[in-house]
Amino acid sequence: MGKGHHRHLIRAAILLGAAIFLFFVVRALLIPKSFGLYGHFRGENLAEQASLPIVHGNPNSCAECHDDVWKIKLAGRHAAVPCQDCHAPLTQHVTEDGVQPMPIHKTFALCARCHQKLEAKPKTFPQIDFHEHVVSKDKNLENEEICLSCHQPHSPMGEK
């Protein structure tokens, strides 16, 4: 057997070795370190997801400062309505720069979201035809805050 064949094999082996080495180098570079920590994904992502900023506060945290309004709300028909729905997320109010004024929505567009008489709303839910309701009360519908002229938003029908 000729010597040349050995050289072929050595060359092939070197090439294969280099390919294997390259494979592992590229693989190590492409796959993030925490990949597979919890499953077929980058484990660090869980900590990234968990560390996103919270915008809406704990619903009970409003009571810490606004106990008076909180009690009125709890006694009324709007007891289950979260404060941050009609106002704004807590983090817009309590910020790192101190307490900022809380936006207050007073228009009937807000009230209408829940109470406009609509196809598809559960029959038992209190809903009104706004035009009919306001006209029957001899009020002016052009006033956007018309609802608040009769209803106290935190307890719209008095104590339940």
Site residues (vs another protein, CB under 8 A) = 1-2, 5, 9, 13, 16-17, 20, 24, 31-33, 35-43, 45-56, 58-59, 80-82, 84-85, 89, 112-114, 116-122, 125
Q: Which C-beta is closer to another protein: that of 52 or that of 99?
A: 52
Q: Given the complex with another protein, which of 101 and 123 has the nearer CB atom?
A: 123
Burial class (CB in 10 A: 0-12, 13-18, 19+), 22: exposed
- Whole-angstrom CA distances from 36 to 25, 28, 40, 157 are 18, 13, 5, 56
Residue whose CB is less far from another protein, 29 or 138: 29
Q: How far is the CB of 119 from another protein (least distance, A)?
A: 5
Cα 158 to its chain centre, rounded Å, is: 32
Dihedral (CA of 30, 36, 37, 42) sign: positive
Residue in 149, 115, 154 with CA at minimum distance from that of residue 131: 115
Least Å distance, CB 94 to another protein, is 15
Give me the least distance between CB of 125 and another protein, in Å please.
Answer: 5
Q: Which is nearer to another protein, 45 or 151 (CB)?
A: 45
